């Protein structure tokens, strides 16, 4: 392949578009290859826009929702405080952007979660796999409620058993059994994965699986 050199020059002329002249010492085919090379590397234009999906993120206070989302956005996590009300983050991935609406997990806020479900295309539920039995039971109840809610029951779910690095953490299989996910979520699109802020590669892979489910649902909707 020929390199681009002064044998191909570009001129603009009023009302006549783009022209290129050919050095008589070069063959026309060589200059054409130069032109194609120039077009390929210099004139590709902007990349196609990534699809965006609106996702709601829920879980009890202390489950680690804010820390995970902040790390995904490359934000500092030194002064993380529990979310009061809700916050929205645009979380970029290679093949999509997730607009994540994180809802606070305090008792005073949980009762209002359903007011923010409308328009969601997917759900992220974060639980503390090292929490007390009492808190784990509350998380189980909230997840069951979300899986059966009319505005969420048909959406893809990503369930993160967070804090897997803590000594008291239950394994993913233990969480799966305790939360009775097999019978409850049968026929639904869901993913259960372990997570920790110390291994964000795994977290990104889990979100990548969620994006795949969102894309599949998009395609299925397009066929209807």
Binding residues for Mg(2+): 66, 83
- Residue pair 214/121 in contact (Cβ under 8 Å)? The answer is yes
Within the chain, residue ranges assigned H as helices are 28-42, 65-72, 107-110, 133-148, 172-178, 181-184, 200-223
* Contact (CB, 8 A) for 166 and 130: yes
154: Cα separation from own chain's centroid = 18
Provide the token pair at 1.
């392949």
Alpha-carbon span 184 to 143, nearest angstrom: 10
The tokens describing 149, both together, are 């809610």
Q: Using alpha carbons only, what angle is made at residue 56 by residues 183 and 152, rounded to the nearest 5 degrees?
A: 40
Q: Which residues are annotated as a binding site?
A: 59-66, 83, 105, 162-165
Q: What is the dihedral of CA 136, 204, 210, 91, to 10 degrees?
A: 100
* Residue count of the chain: 224
User: 159 with 189: CB under 8 angstroms?
Assistant: no
Annotated binding site for GTP: 59-66, 105, 162-165
């Amino acid at each position: 392949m020929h390199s681009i050199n002064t044998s191909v020059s570009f001129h603009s002329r009023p009302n006549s578009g783009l022209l290129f002249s050919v050095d008589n010492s070069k063959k026309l085919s060589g200059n054409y290859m130069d032109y194609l090379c120039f077009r390929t590397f210099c004139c590709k234009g902007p990349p196609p826009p990534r699809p965006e999906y609106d996702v709601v993120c829920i879980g009890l206070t202390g489950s680690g929702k804010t820390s995970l989302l902040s790390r995904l956005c490359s934000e500092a996590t030194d002064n993380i405080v529990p979310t009061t009300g809700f916050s929205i983050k645009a979380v970029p991935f290679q093949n999509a952007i997730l607009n994540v609406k994180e809802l606070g997990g305090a008792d005073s806020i949980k009762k209002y979660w359903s007011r923010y479900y409308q328009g969601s295309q997917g759900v992220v539920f974060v639980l503390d796999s090292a929490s007390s039995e009492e808190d784990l039971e509350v998380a189980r109840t909230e997840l069951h409620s979300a899986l059966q809610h009319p505005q969420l029951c048909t959406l893809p779910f990503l369930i993160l058993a967070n804090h897997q690095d803590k000594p008291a953490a239950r394994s993913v299989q233990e969480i799966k059994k305790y939360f009775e996910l097999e019978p409850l979520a049968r026929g639904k699109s869901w993913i259960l994965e372990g997570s920790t802020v110390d291994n964000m590669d795994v977290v990104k892979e889990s979100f990548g699986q969620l994006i795949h489910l969102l894309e599949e649902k998009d395609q299925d909707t397009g066929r209807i």
